[in-house]
């Protein structure tokens, strides 16, 4: 694990979150507030995005040495109101990551759960946790979107890397090898 890999994962994390957020926002607040099903971690698309933003914010506090007694929130009821808050969290997250060194990845972070349970873990795995946690919820969001409007765009890492390569004017490696 390297700090450069972590930073790249967070670039992907922001990109994937925004891809699904933008698709949902284009469908409107009424659809984002509609209950899709109790089988999901949160029954509405808006609730799912609020949770992702809140988790990013909560873990950023923990990485910086504070453990809020309760998760951040409640978050704004509409996606347009949530976006500026999430932008601020993402900028703070990006600044935190920019200041890290390789040795920070093994630094022990002490934090408490909202229930008061204490934990001590190295920062590196905790940084991975946030991206992995969001992947779980993005899969729920993609399923919810499929149920209400059709299949959303691919938000896998390979799609992100292809888009990055295209934006940089490079032929993605997988296409170069395939001859297309």
Structure tokens at 86: 């999430």
pLDDT for 86-126, tens place per residue?
A: 999 999 999 999 999 999 999 999 999 888 899 999 999 99
Closest CA to 130 of 94, 101, 164: 94
Rounded Cα distance, 152 and 154, in Å: 7
Residue 46: give the domain boundaries. Answer: 3-178
pLDDT digits (tens, 9 = 90+) for 151-168: 999 999 999 999 999 998
Number of domains observed in the structure of the chain: 1
CB count, 10 Å around CB of 79? 23
pTM over 0.75: yes
What does the alpha-carbon distance between residue 165 and residue 176 come to, in Å, rounded to a whole number?
12
The CATH number of whichever domain residue 66 belongs to comes to: 1.20.120.450
Are 140 and 155 a contacting pair, CB within 8 Å?
no
Helix (H) / strand (E) containing 119:
strand 118-122
């Amino acid at each position: 694990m390297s700090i450069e890999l972590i930073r790249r994962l967070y670039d992907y994390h922001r990109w994937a979150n925004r891809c699904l957020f933008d698709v949902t926002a284009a469908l409107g607040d009424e659809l984002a507030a509609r209950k899709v099903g109790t089988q999901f971690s949160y029954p509405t698309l808006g609730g799912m995005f609020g949770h992702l933003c809140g988790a990013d914010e909560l873990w950023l506090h923990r990485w910086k040495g504070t453990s809020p007694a309760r998760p951040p929130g409640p978050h704004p009821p509409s996606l347009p109101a949530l976006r500026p808050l999430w932008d601020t969290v993402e900028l703070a997250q990006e600044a935190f990551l920019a200041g890290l060194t390789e040795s920070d990845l093994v630094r022990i972070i002490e934090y408490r759960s909202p229930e008061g349970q204490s934990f001590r873990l190295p920062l590196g795995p905790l940084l991975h946790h946030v991206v992995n946690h969001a992947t779980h919820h993005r899969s729920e969001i993609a399923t919810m979107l499929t149920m209400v409007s059709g299949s959303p765009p691919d938000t896998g890492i390979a799609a992100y890397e292809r888009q990055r390569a295209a934006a940089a004017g490079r032929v993605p490696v997988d296409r170069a090898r395939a001859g297309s």
